[in-house]
Structure 1
Amino acid sequence: MSKLADKVQQELIQAIDSDELVLPTLPEVALRVRETAEDPNAGIQDLAKVIGNDAALTARIIKVVNSPLLRTNKEITDLQMAISRLGINYTSNLATGLAMEQMFQATSDVVDRKMREVWNKSTEIAGICHVLCRHYSRLMPDQATLAGLVHQIGVLPILTYAEEHSELLADSISLNHVIERIHPLIGDRILRAWEFPEPIASVPSQYLDFKRDSARVDYIDIVQVATLQSYLGSEHPYTQLDWSQVSAFAKLGLDPNVDMQADEDLSAAMEAAMGMLQ
């Protein structure tokens, strides 16, 4: 690792340890959505009122409910009907995840491009998570989707730091090194600060631990397999790993040598899931 990457990593870890790193805050609409969903006295109408204040988010929720994965015979055009079809928890997790897209924007072109890249990869992995969860586990697809959308959230403060330090921005190799090494650690900190439930809050720091083995299948396993599947057919180093040693495949009952894209039904489902998040 370059001296620059080493220096930046030390500075960021020090800032994390001393609680000096400014963690991003959850978008206002996501906070209000979660608050409403957790209120036992709130209903579909209340949640529709909160989401309805954000036209873009409203359109996204309606797009999701009409996607090939979830649609019924009748097209849904009304937000309240969409929430009623998805359920309050599902809508809340989906709205929280989708609202995060507004955080992946920067003032400099280089950082903005990198943020778009991270967000696009996150939606791709979240789509695969949704399908893996529905077909191979009894976990909640909305939680799996949210886990996929937030697994790289730790990249945000690193890119914000890079925006203020031109020498790091000019050295993309060092920047990528820093991101790879510490985004998992920062990601956990952010999700805990946002009071995400533990099964999702621990995803960033553990999804790249390919030797990890838990007693039963969890969201970390799903994000891990989705990440590996997303690189199939590329030259990425993950494709060189021995996937048969990754216990997450066995826990999901998936053959590590099988390309999910080769299965027409799964491939169509993954395409639909990714499409509904974009």
Structure 2
Amino acid sequence: MSKLAEKVQQELIEAIDNDQLVLPTLPEVALKVRDAAEDPDIGVPQISKVIGNDAALTARIIKVVNSPLLRSSREITDLQMAISRLGINYTCNLAIGLAMEQMFQATTDVVDRKMREVWTKSTEIAGICHVLCRHYTRLMPDQATLAGLVHQIGVLPILTYAEENSELLADAISLSHVIDNIHPIIGDRILRAWDFPELISMVPSQHLDFSRNSAKVDYVDIVQVATLQSYLGTDHPYTQLDWGTVPAFAKLGLDPNVDVQEDQDLAADMEAAMKMLQ
């Protein structure tokens, strides 16, 4: 690691330890959706009113409900009908996750490209998570999708820091080193600051621990397998790992030597899930 990367990494870790790192806040619409969802008496009309104030988010929810993965026999064009079809919990988790896209924007072209790259990869992994969860576990697909969308959330403060430090921004290798080493720690901090459930909050820091072996399958396992599967066919270092030693595959009941995307039905589901989130 370069001296610059070491310096920046140390500064960021100190800022984290001293609670001096400015963590991003959830978009306003996501906060409103979450607040509404916490009301046990909330109904479809109330949730619809909250989401309906954001035209872009409304369009995304309707796009999701009409995706090949979820669509019913007739097209749904009304937000209330979409929420009724998806369910309130599913809709709220999806809305919170999708609303985060507006956070992945920057004022400089270099950082903006990097943020969009991170978001695109997050939606790809979230789509795979959705399908793996539905087919191989009894966990909640909406929670798995949310876990996939937020697993790299810790990259945001690092890129914000880089925008304000031209030396780091000009050194792509050092920036990548810092991101790889620090984003999991920051990610957990952010999700806990946002009061996310612990099963989701621990995903950023644990999804790259490929020796991790929890008592039962959880969202970390799903994100882990989805991450590895997303790099099949590339020369990414993850493809050089011995996947047979990764406990998450066994917990999902998957053969690590089999590309799940070779299954035509699963491949079609994954493609549909990725498209519905983009």
Corresponding residue number in structure 1 for 2:251: 251
RMSD between superposed Cα atoms in Å? 0.4
SS of alignment partner, residue 5 of structure 2: helix
SS of alignment partner, residue 173 of structure 2: helix
Cα distance, 1:41 vs structure 2? 2.2
Distance 1:102 1:196 in 2: 19
SS of alignment partner, residue 69 of structure 2: coil
Distance 1:41 1:100 in 2: 26
Distance 2:42 2:272 in 1: 31
The one-letter code matched in structure 2 to 1:18 is N
SS of alignment partner, residue 128 of structure 1: helix
The one-letter code matched in structure 1 to 2:225 is V
Distance 2:139 2:258 in 1: 22
Distance 1:107 1:184 in 2: 24
Corresponding residue number in structure 2 for 1:11: 11
1:238 and 2:256 equivalent?
Answer: no
Q: Once the two structures are superposed, what CA deviation does each residue of 1:83-132 show, in whole Å capped at 9, x if it has no partner?
A: 00101100000000000000000000000000000000000000000000
Corresponding residue number in structure 1 for 2:177: 177
Corresponding residue number in structure 2 for 1:223: 223
1:110 and 2:88 equivalent?
Answer: no
Cα distance, 1:217 vs structure 2? 0.2
Distance 2:53 2:128 in 1: 30
1:195-214 matches, within 5 Å, as 195-214=195-214
Corresponding residue number in structure 2 for 1:84: 84
Corresponding residue number in structure 2 for 1:276: 276
1:153-192 matches, within 5 Å, as 153-192=153-192
Distance 2:110 2:254 in 1: 38
Distance 1:91 1:31 in 2: 14
* TM-score normalised by length of structure 2: 1.00
Corresponding residue number in structure 1 for 2:193: 193
SS of alignment partner, residue 215 of structure 1: coil
Corresponding residue number in structure 2 for 1:122: 122
The one-letter code matched in structure 2 to 1:251 is K
How many residue pairs get aligned? The number is: 278
Corresponding residue number in structure 2 for 1:35: 35
Corresponding residue number in structure 2 for 1:23: 23
Q: Once the two structures are superposed, what CA deviation does each residue of 1:229-254 show, in whole Å capped at 9, x if it has no partner?
A: 00001000000000000000000000
Distance 1:74 1:94 in 2: 21
SS of alignment partner, residue 20 of structure 2: coil
Cα distance, 1:37 vs structure 2? 0.9
Distance 2:35 2:266 in 1: 35
Distance 2:77 2:39 in 1: 26
SS of alignment partner, residue 119 of structure 2: helix
SS of alignment partner, residue 184 of structure 1: helix
Distance 2:40 2:224 in 1: 34
Structure 1's consecutive aligned runs of 4 or more residues displaced over 4 angstroms after TM superposition are none
Aligned residues: percent identity? Answer: 83
The worse-fitting range, judged by mean Cα deviation, of 36-45 and 183-192 is 36-45
1:89-104 matches, within 5 Å, as 89-104=89-104
SS of alignment partner, residue 21 of structure 2: coil
Cα distance, 1:63 vs structure 2? 0.3
Runs of 5+ in structure 2 lacking a partner?
Answer: none
Cα distance, 1:40 vs structure 2? 1.4
Distance 2:90 2:261 in 1: 26
The one-letter code matched in structure 1 to 2:31 is L
Distance 1:220 1:45 in 2: 33
